[in-house]
Amino acid sequence: MKIPLEKFGTVGTFLMALATAAPCCLPLLATTSAALGLSIFLPYQEYLNYVLQGFVILVLVGHVKAYSKHDNHWLLLLSLVSAAGIFIGYNFYYSANIIYPSLLGLGISAIWHYFINRSGRVACSTKNIILESIITCPFCGFQKAEIMPIDFCLFFYECLGCKALLKPKQGDCCVFCSYGSVKCPPIQIGSCFCH
């Protein structure tokens, strides 16, 4: 299972922010941290602050990579400003007035990115894709043109010539990818997944 960098980084950033929150400087995070039992990490705060910043870098790398797909300047800008605020807040001026809004911005950018990805999966079907594929039976050679579904993969297909039940070859997602003249729409698009 592939876990996107921005999701992993965002979760890690918030966990580390909770684990390293000092009660004197970040009371809201420190209270939440104590309620979750993460205050046991306070003695390691100096080291975990660097881990937190590593997670922020993962978020940035993930959002920069995702930017090439969704081309949303505002989302990238919010991520960059939030990350800069976190770096400034943890390295130069340790202040709740900088860290809280920066963490909030990073959270908003992660949620925004999630919804862009979700709407992108729905929009995948609107791209220029070939919907017709000719399935050739490997047993009898019978060929038939079929319209491929755009939102799921077809795992079984009964040959009209010899009545054999065709299944995808190992490594293929569907019968169109194994026996069709054209790969299925989710594979054609590349960024979508078979459901």
Q: 48-95 pLDDT, tens per residue?
A: 888 888 888 888 888 787 777 677 788 888 889 998 998 898 888 878
How long, in residues, is the chain?
A: 195
**Is there a single domain that holds both residue 143 and residue 97?**
no
Are 136 and 119 part of one and the same domain? no
Examine the domain organization and report whether 120 and 142 are in the same domain: no
**Residues 179 and 145 occupy one common structural domain:** yes
Whether residue 86 sits in one domain with residue 40: yes
Tell me the pLDDT tens digit for each residue of 22-52: 666 677 777 887 888 877 887 887 788 888 8
Beta bridge partners of 134: 145
Same structural domain, 44 and 97: yes
Domain boundaries, position 104: 5-124
* 151 domain residue, yes or no: yes
194 within a domain of the structure (yes/no): no
CB-based contacts of 149: which residues, under 8 Å, 6+ apart? 185
What pLDDT digit, counting tens, does each position of 5-17 carry?
Answer: 667 777 777 777 7
Same domain, 149 and 91: no
SS3 157: strand
- Based on the domain organization, do 39 and 119 belong to the same domain? yes
Q: Are residues 31 and 98 in the same domain?
A: yes
- Counted domains in the chain: 2
Residues 24 and 114 placed together within one structural domain of the fold = yes
- Whether residue 142 is contained in a domain is answered as yes
Q: CB of 78 within 8 A of CB of 67?
A: no
Chosen domain end from 81, 101, 124 = 124
pLDDT at 191: 47
Is the domain of 70 the same as that of 137? no
Hey, what's the torsion of the CAs at 45, 48, 53, 57, to 10 degrees? Answer: -170
The more confident residue out of 4 and 41 is: 41
Question: Are 168 and 111 in a shared domain?
Answer: no
In this structure, what are the phi and psi dihedrals at residue 7, rounded to the nearest 5 degrees? Answer: -70, -50
Residue 195 lies in a domain: no
Does the structure show a pLDDT above 90 at 195? Answer: no
Stated as kind and residue range, the H or E segment containing 166 is strand 165-166
pLDDT above 60 (res 122): no
